Amino acid sequence: MPEEGGFQTLSDLEESAARRVDPKVWAHVQGGAGEQRTLRWNREAFQVRTLRPRVLVDVRRVRTAHRILGRPVDVPFFISPTSQHGLLHPEAEVATARAAAGRNVLAVYSTLSTRGLEEIAEAAPRAPRWFQLYVHQDPAITKDLLQRAEAGGYQAIVITVDAPVLGVRDSQDKAGFVMPPGVPLGNLDRYASSKGHEGSLRQADHFARRTDPAMTWDRLAEVRAGTHLPLVLKGILTAGDTERAVDAGVSGIVVSNHGGRQLDGAPATLWALSEVVKASRGRLEVYLDGGVRRGADVLVAMALGARAVGLGRPILWGLAAGGEAGVGRVLDLLRKDLEISMALTGCREVMEIRPEMVGEIPRDG
Ligand X SMILES: Cc1cc2nc3c(=O)[nH]c(=O)nc-3n(C[C@H](O)[C@H](O)[C@H](O)COP(=O)(O)O)c2cc1C
Q: Which residues bind ligand X (CB under 6 A)?
A: 29, 42, 80-83, 110, 112, 132, 160, 234, 256, 258-259, 261, 289-292, 311-313
Toward ligand X, which CB reaches closer, 23 or 359?
A: 23
For residue 48, give the nearest of 342, 297, 236, 357 by alpha carbon: 297
Q: At its nearest, how many Å lie between ligand X and the CB of residue 69?
A: 17
Rounded CA gap, 244 and 50, in Å?
32
Q: Which residue is nearest to ligand X (CB)?
A: 312
How far from the centroid of its chain's Cα atoms is residue 276's Cα? 18
Strands, E assignment, the chain = 49-51, 66-68, 71-73, 77-79, 107-109, 129-133, 157-160, 231-236, 252-255, 285-289, 308-311, 358-360
Q: Which is nearer to ligand X, 14 or 91 (CB)?
A: 14
Residues recognised as catalytic: 258
Least separation in angstroms between residue 212's CB and ligand X is 14
Q: What is the dihedral of CA 80, 239, 162, 75, to 10 degrees?
A: 0
CB of 245 to ligand X, least distance (A): 16
Whose Cβ is closer to ligand X: residue 289's or residue 337's? 289
Q: What is the dihedral of CA 113, 117, 120, 122, to 10 degrees?
A: -170
Contact 78, 108 (CB under 8 A): yes
Contacts of 313 (CB under 8 A, 6+ apart): 14, 29, 30, 82, 259
Task: Give the shortest CB-166-to-ligand X separation in angstroms.
Answer: 11
CB closer to ligand X, 101 vs 311: 311
Q: Closest CB to ligand X among 101 and 330?
A: 330
Q: Cα separation of 70 and 263, whole Å?
A: 32
We find the least distance from the C-beta atom of residue 59 to ligand X, in angstroms, to be: 28
